[in-house]
Amino acid sequence: MPLDFSSHRPKEQRLARWSGLIDAGVAFALALATALSAWCAYQSNLWSGDMINHYSAAGQTRAKASLLSVQAQQIQASDVGVFVHYAAAISEGNHDLATFLYHRFRPEMRHAVDAWNATKPLVNPNAPATPFGMPAYSIAQSKESARLNALADQQVQEAQRANRISDRFVLLTVFFAMVLFFAGIAPRFASVFGHLAFNALALGVLVIATISMLLLPRA
């Protein structure tokens, strides 16, 4: 008695129809994956340029901060030198010299010395040893150096963020290349199931990669 394969034909026909629909979708997916891969490469290059700019700006900011730090150290050394002579004049009772040196202090140093003298350091054992520990003592260059160092840290963080985003766009180009690979080998399978499986895999990777790309910031 001959075998009847007619019951399997509708299933094969349905699979063939689905295969045709997926083939049409994959043809569109191939074009889309190619375009999106190029777009991701473009975005990666932009973010890499942004990273370089932030690192360059951070380097320049660090250099300015270092210069100001050196200037602050020089100013403090000068303050210390004048104050040593001022303190010696006070201890020797040479008020004329002490007054002369007092008026040679920077305004910030003079305020610190006034605040320090108000603590009566000659008779008060709890008074600070020098005016350099007083809150009134400040050096503008030192404050500006600290601000620039903080700015440089922020610029480095921005550079690192740009680098991470650039790397993610590079990774997405790999996923889009996987789409092209899966879609390219699908027709080589004689089995309808193999054909469908690899085409569906290509479409799935495309959807995931596209959603991931849309969630990334653009330069």
Q: Write the pLDDT tens digit of every residue in 86-121.
A: 989 988 889 999 999 999 999 999 999 999 989 988
The answer to whether residues 155 and 36 touch, using CB atoms and an 8 Å cutoff, is: no
pLDDT < 70: residue spans in the chain: 1-23, 25, 187, 189-192
On average, the pLDDT of the chain sits at 87
> What distance lies between CA 167 and its chain's CA centroid?
13
pTM, two decimals, is 0.74
Q: Dig out the tokens for 54 from the structure.
A: 């932030």
pLDDT computed for residue 89 by the predictor: 92
The answer to whether residues 169 and 39 touch, using CB atoms and an 8 Å cutoff, is: no
Q: Which burial class, exposed, middle or buried, applies to 20 when counting CB atoms under 10 A from its CB (0-12, 13-18, 19+)?
A: exposed
Q: Write the pLDDT tens digit of every residue in 163-190.
A: 999 999 999 999 999 988 888 777 676 6
pLDDT computed for residue 16 by the predictor: 60
pLDDT computed for residue 76 by the predictor: 94
pLDDT computed for residue 196 by the predictor: 75
pLDDT computed for residue 27 by the predictor: 79
Task: Name the percent of the chain lying above pLDDT 90.
Answer: 60
Question: What whole-number distance in Å separates Cα of residue 10 and Cα of residue 43?
Answer: 48
pLDDT computed for residue 1 by the predictor: 43
